[in-house]
């Protein structure tokens, strides 16, 4: 646990008692603060009370009297599409609003660090897609060379659940836009921007607000080194904002779409080969084609980002390559779950938006595609160009018929349930086919989260093999 500093003896309100909220309450108490907690869910309140936390309705009159700050869990809106009433009450009372990531950066550095020859570093990874894989890949490579490392944030543990830093350690944080948009402190040593595509637009008031939330990690944080994917206009703009000149080595540009040139530090992947250039000269390369845990161009982009971070941390290209080769990938992200009668079954339930699904589709040929769910703002037109390898789509979800109609030019079958979709895809699959779950939609119409959806796919496949 990272004890939160700066609030000793002060009352701090905590709104939302899920993983990050409870971790924040524990860390605040450990640091001497007096947490006052609230969640609309009575079961969540009961859990907190079992741990000895006081729960008080933060909408009661004078609830914020004497409160130093309000800590808000990531899923709770503070501005768009409308602020949570508790957030509004805090702001009207003049109480600052923060989140667990802000508390982490405020509190991670400890007095004992003065005795370290090499103090801990923090790598923070954001972007629209590939954050989890990139963060996990960095963490895996560091583990493979025996360097102390922990991973948290939007993956694994809450940031404040981490152990205090030790000498030469690297903490890897995956940060969503919900986390970066509100944190009052953002000071990573290395910040990563993987890529950008529209997502969570209602929460951020449009695409500009979504990009602004991502950009805060760089503009507010001032990282010692920035790794920026430049395959979209937003990434190019961000790279331009971070660099003081063409040869500024504090910026590493990455791409999975084209060769990068220029006097600066560039890392790109083309035709399955990763290349590192500095001052217009190649200084490192990796053949990514035979690495099973990193299939497809989108994973090659993740590999470029992870490679850049590991090079920043002093690892040699061959050492990084060895780490890549032992990486098995993450559950629900291009996860190969079975091969049977020359048919491959792949779980990419994390492909919850159009861009992520398009990248999953581009990684394979002859696809029996299971898709559908709670469609996100913007529709499916941006996905159609990537459907050339789709033999047939098997559509799930409560609005499966409407989703199928939007897949113009693709043969579809309305299945509604995962069970029916898997049954039909397996019955029609031929040798060489890939049965791919890449929903291009949120899961909440049928499942609690994308993990549960992916687990259902795995269970349905394995029960039929």
What CATH number has the domain bearing residue 445? Answer: 3.90.190.20
* CA dihedral angle for residue 414, residue 360, residue 353, residue 253, rounded to 10 degrees: -170
Q: 128: annotated binding-site residue?
A: yes
Between CA 162 and CA 33 the distance in angstroms is 18
- The answer on 148 and 202 residing in a single domain is yes
Q: pLDDT by residue (tens digit) across 312-340?
A: 999 999 999 999 999 988 888 888 899 99
Between CA 26 and CA 49 the distance in angstroms is 12
- The answer on 156 and 136 residing in a single domain is yes
Q: 187: annotated binding-site residue?
A: no
- The answer on 427 and 393 residing in a single domain is yes
pLDDT exceeds cutoff 80 at 156:
no
Cβ-Cβ contacts under 8 Å for 94 (sequence gap 6 or more): none
**Is 213 inside a domain boundary?**
yes
Q: Which two tokens stand for residue 330?
A: 């993450």
**Is 232 inside a domain boundary?**
yes
**Is 386 inside a domain boundary?**
yes
- The answer on 385 and 344 residing in a single domain is yes
**Is 114 inside a domain boundary?**
yes
Q: Which two tokens stand for residue 438?
A: 């890449």
Q: Tell me which of 98, 117, 145 is where a domain ends.
A: 98
Q: What is the pLDDT of residue 295?
A: 83
Between CA 367 and CA 369 the distance in angstroms is 6
**Is 19 inside a domain boundary?**
yes
- What pLDDT band is residue 298 in, cutting at 50, 70 and 90? confident
Q: 130: annotated binding-site residue?
A: yes
Q: What is the pLDDT of residue 330?
A: 81
User: Domain containing 140 — which CATH number?
Assistant: 3.40.1190.10
Q: 129: annotated binding-site residue?
A: yes
Q: pLDDT by residue (tens digit) across 413-426?
A: 999 999 999 999 99
**Is 1 inside a domain boundary?**
no
Q: 259: annotated binding-site residue?
A: no
**Is 5 inside a domain boundary?**
no
Q: Tell me which of 297, 325, 353 is where a domain ends.
A: 325
- The answer on 163 and 56 residing in a single domain is no
- The answer on 149 and 48 residing in a single domain is no
Q: 177: annotated binding-site residue?
A: no
Q: Which two tokens stand for residue 45?
A: 């309140």
- The answer on 74 and 27 residing in a single domain is yes
Q: What is the pLDDT of residue 43?
A: 93
- The answer on 445 and 313 residing in a single domain is no
Q: Tell me which of 275, 293, 325 is where a domain ends.
A: 325
- What pLDDT band is residue 290 in, cutting at 50, 70 and 90? confident
pLDDT-above-90 percentage for the chain: 84
- The answer on 111 and 93 residing in a single domain is no
Q: What is the pLDDT of residue 355?
A: 86
Q: What is the pLDDT of residue 209?
A: 95
Q: Which domain holds residue 383?
A: 335-462
Number of folded domains that form the chain: 3
- The answer on 395 and 281 residing in a single domain is no
- What pLDDT band is residue 222 in, cutting at 50, 70 and 90? confident
Which spans in 189-295 are helix H?
201-204, 207-219, 233-242
- The answer on 274 and 385 residing in a single domain is no
**Is 420 inside a domain boundary?**
yes
* Helix %, strand %, coil % of the chain (to 5): 35, 25, 40
- The answer on 115 and 172 residing in a single domain is yes
Please name the residue that has the structure tokens 């509100």. Answer: 182
Q: For 169-182, what is the mean pLDDT?
A: 96
Q: What is the pLDDT of residue 25?
A: 97
User: Domain containing 40 — which CATH number?
Assistant: 3.40.50.720
Q: 326: annotated binding-site residue?
A: no
| Average pLDDT along the chain | 94
Between CA 88 and CA 79 the distance in angstroms is 9
């Amino acid at each position: 646990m990272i004890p939160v500093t700066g609030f000793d003896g002060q009352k701090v309100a905590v709104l939302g008692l899920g993983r990050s909220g409870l971790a924040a309450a524990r860390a605040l108490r450990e640091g001497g603060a007096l947490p006052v907690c609230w969640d609309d869910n009575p079961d969540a309140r009961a859990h907190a009370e079992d741990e000895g936390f006081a729960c008080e309705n933060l909408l009661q009159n004078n609830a914020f009297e004497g409160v130093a700050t309000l800590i808000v869990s990531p899923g709770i809106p503070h501005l768009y599409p409308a602020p949570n009433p508790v957030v509004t009450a805090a702001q009207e009372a003049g109480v600052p609003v923060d989140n667990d990531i802000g508390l982490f950066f405020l509190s991670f550095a400890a007095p004992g660090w003065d005795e370290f020859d090499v103090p801990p570093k923090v790598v923070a990874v954001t972007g629209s897609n590939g954050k989890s894989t990139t963060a996990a890949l960095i963490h895996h490579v560091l583990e493979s060379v025996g360097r102390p490392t922990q991973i948290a944030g939007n993956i694994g543990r809450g940031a404040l659940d981490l152990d205090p830093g030790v000498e030469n350690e690297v903490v890897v944080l995956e940060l969503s836009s919900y986390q970066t948009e509100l944190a009052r402190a953002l000071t990573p040593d290395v910040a990563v921007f993987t890529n950008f595509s529209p997502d969570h637009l209602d929460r951020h008031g449009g695409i500009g607000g979504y990009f602004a939330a991502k950009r805060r990690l760089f503009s507010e944080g001032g990282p010692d080194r920035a790794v920026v994917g430049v395959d979209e206009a937003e990434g190019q703009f961000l790279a331009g904002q971070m660099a003081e000149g063409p040869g500024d080595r504090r910026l590493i540009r990455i791409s999975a779409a084209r060769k990068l040139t220029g006097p600066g530090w560039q890392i790109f992947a083309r035709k399955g080969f990763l290349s590192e250039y500095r001052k217009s000269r190649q200084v490192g390369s990796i053949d990514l084609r035979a690495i099973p845990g990193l299939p497809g161009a989108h994973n090659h982009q993740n590999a470029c980002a992870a490679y850049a971070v590991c090079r920043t941390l002093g690892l040699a290209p061959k050492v990084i390559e060895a780490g890549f080769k032992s990486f098995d990938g993450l559950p629900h992200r291009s996860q190969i779950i079975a091969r049977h009668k020359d048919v491959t079954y792949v779980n990419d339930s994390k492909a919850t938006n159009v861009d992520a699904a398009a990248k999953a589709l581009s990684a394979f040929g002859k696809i029996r595609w299971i898709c559908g769910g709670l469609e996100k703002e913007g529709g499916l037109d941006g996905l159609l160009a990537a459907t050339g390898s789709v033999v047939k789509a098997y559509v799930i979800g409560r609005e499966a018929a409407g989703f199928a109609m939007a897949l113009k030019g693709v043969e579809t079958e309305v299945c509604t349930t995962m069970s029916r979709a898997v049954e039909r895809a397996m019955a029609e699959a031929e040798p060489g086919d890939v049965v791919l779950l890449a929903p291009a939609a949120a899961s909440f119409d049928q499942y609690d989260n994308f993990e549960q959806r992916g687990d259902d796919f795995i269970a349905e496949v394995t029960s039929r093999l």
